[in-house]
């Protein structure tokens, strides 16, 4: 029995509220000049006040040593096994632009690229093709017909697009044609299993027709494909946890992720303060609020320590308004660490706090990596966050007689 099967057995619907704030890329590392991490440098009075009233700890997103992408990092926080429930790129991109996928849909991320007269890639992003131009080319590719499947081509941004192949028995066991380097001829799609041979043939026919349409152009005259994927089998959060959950996220990918987990979402943003306002005004409509803040991760990935500090201060400011709502459970978590000195996602455990009733005592008075390391929750797998939050919200009944 999986953890989710167990939770589903004891979950009950109650009026209690859970605010679930995910600060993307939350965890950091000390700056070599000051010995202080981003969180230790930032002025975050609200987070510190929350930490003082909370149980604190450190979460391992996927497993010790593993650096997660944002997909597995979030899945774990929502109580899904991030390894068996891996959402691959095609599906994630499709969900991110609001496409509703069905069980017969095979999604893949496409790039317009430029090839020379021998078919060798000279520019993997076709000079970061303007979105408007990409939109026109996508409309042309969208008209391609291949027997046995319906095909949709949707622009994303710049040179990036998503293709949906819809038909019975399609397999996603297909190798990428995007080899992530220039100077090579993109290979045909290759089936990784016997079951995928017919799917490979269909997609190769599509690619050949795309080449026919684009080939005369000086640039953006070819496509590469990456992350073939079908919808993973994810139980909707509402069903498994008996919740009525909503997402407040400004980035398409996180909205997409929330949709894949069966959450509703609100059009919100662009600032975190806007997200907080929207949460406050819809507070009566839902019982679980996933509110996602992207800025900390972006600054961390840019390797900009000071920008990450500012992002953390930006998220701190309106938190007081969320505290005033007095939800039964207030979680602040991160999907992974993004230390600015690394300029990348990392494997380091992530600070975590949960303000709630029925807490054990905790002496943590500030929301930092080292303070949380001494918290009463200790270091624990991110997958255990949801059961804890549900329990403290009174949403789990007794197991067994």
Q: Which positions touch its own copies (CB under 8 A)?
A: 1, 3, 6-7, 10, 29-30, 35, 62-72, 82-84, 86-89, 92, 227, 339, 341-342, 344-349, 358-361, 369-370, 373, 376-380, 384, 386-391, 396-401
CA distance 320 to 193: 53
Of the two residues 1 and 181, which places its CB atom closer to its own copies in the complex? Answer: 1
- Shortest distance, CB of residue 255 to its own copies, whole angstroms? 15
Compute how many other C-beta atoms are within 10 angstroms of the C-beta atom of residue 285: 11
Residue with tokens 């859970």: 18
Residue 289: DSSP 8-state:
E
For the chain, state the CA radius of gyration: 23
In sequence order, the 6+-apart residues with CB closer than 8 A to the CB of 130 are 158
CA distance 339 to 308: 9
- Shortest distance, CB of residue 27 to its own copies, whole angstroms? 9
- Shortest distance, CB of residue 84 to its own copies, whole angstroms? 7
Of the two residues 283 and 347, which places its CB atom closer to its own copies in the complex? Answer: 347
CA distance 372 to 51: 9
- Shortest distance, CB of residue 361 to its own copies, whole angstroms? 5
Of the two residues 56 and 189, which places its CB atom closer to its own copies in the complex? Answer: 56
3-class DSSP assignment, residue 121? strand
Residue 261: DSSP 8-state:
T
Q: Which of 24, 25, 47, 21 is nearest to 339 (CA)?
A: 25
- Shortest distance, CB of residue 113 to its own copies, whole angstroms? 19
- Shortest distance, CB of residue 120 to its own copies, whole angstroms? 26
* Whether 134 contacts 158, CB under 8 Å: yes
Q: Could you give the angle at which helices 385-392 and 70-77 cross, rounded to 10 degrees?
A: 30
Of the two residues 274 and 301, which places its CB atom closer to its own copies in the complex? Answer: 301
Q: Could you give the angle at which helices 3-10 and 385-392 cross, rounded to 10 degrees?
A: 10
Of the two residues 117 and 360, which places its CB atom closer to its own copies in the complex? Answer: 360
Of the two residues 255 and 348, which places its CB atom closer to its own copies in the complex? Answer: 348
- Shortest distance, CB of residue 326 to its own copies, whole angstroms? 17
Of the two residues 191 and 373, which places its CB atom closer to its own copies in the complex? Answer: 373
Residue 401, judged by CB atoms within 10 A of its CB (0-12, 13-18, 19+), counts as exposed
- Shortest distance, CB of residue 301 to its own copies, whole angstroms? 11
Of the two residues 223 and 389, which places its CB atom closer to its own copies in the complex? Answer: 389
CA distance 358 to 328: 10
């Amino acid at each position: 029995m999986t953890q989710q099967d167990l939770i589903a057995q004891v979950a009950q619907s109650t009026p209690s509220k859970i605010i679930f704030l995910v600060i993307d890329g939350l965890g950091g590392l000390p700056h070599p000049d000051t010995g202080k991490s981003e969180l230790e440098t930032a002025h975050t009075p609200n987070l510190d006040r929350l930490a003082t009233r909370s149980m604190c700890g450190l979460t391992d997103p996927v497993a010790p040593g593993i650096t997660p992408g944002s997909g597995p990092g979030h899945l774990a926080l929502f109580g899904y096994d991030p390894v068996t429930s891996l959402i691959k790129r095609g599906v994630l991109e499709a969900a991110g632009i609001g496409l509703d996928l069905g069980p017969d849909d095979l999604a893949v991320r496409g790039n317009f690229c430029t090839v020379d007269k021998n078919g060798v890639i000279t520019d993997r992003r076709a000079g970061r093709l303007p979105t408007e131009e990409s939109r026109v080319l996508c409309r042309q590719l969208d008209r391609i017909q291949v027997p046995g499947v319906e095909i949709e081509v949707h622009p994303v941004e710049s040179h990036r697009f998503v293709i949906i192949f819809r038909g019975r028995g399609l397999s996603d066991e297909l190798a990428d044609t995007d080899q992530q380097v220039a100077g090579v001829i993109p290979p045909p799609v290759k089936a990784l299993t016997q079951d995928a041979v017919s799917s490979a043939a269909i997609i190769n026919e599509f690619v050949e027709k795309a080449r026919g349409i684009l080939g005369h152009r000086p640039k953006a005259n070819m496509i590469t494909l990456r992350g073939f994927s079908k919808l993973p089998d994810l139980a909707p959060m509402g069903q498994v946890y008996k919740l009525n959950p909503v997402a407040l996220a400004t980035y398409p990918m996180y909205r997409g992720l929330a949709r894949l987990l069966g959450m509703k979402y609100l059009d919100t943003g662009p600032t975190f303060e806007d997200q907080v306002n929207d949460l406050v005004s819809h507070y009566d409509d839902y019982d679980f609020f996933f509110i996602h803040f992207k800025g900390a991760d972006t600054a961390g990935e840019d390797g900009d320590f000071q920008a990450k500090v500012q992002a953390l201060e930006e998220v701190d400011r309106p938190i007081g308004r969320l505290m005033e709502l007095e939800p039964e459970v207030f979680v602040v978590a991160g999907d992974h660490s993004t230390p600015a000195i690394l300029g990348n996602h990392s494997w380091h455990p992530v600070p975590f706090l949960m303000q709630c009733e029925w807490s054990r005592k905790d002496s943590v008075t500030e929301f930092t990596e080292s303070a949380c390391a001494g918290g009463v929750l200790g270091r624990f797998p991110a997958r255990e966050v949801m059961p804890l939050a549900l329990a403290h919200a009174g949403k789990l009944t007794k197991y067994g007689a």
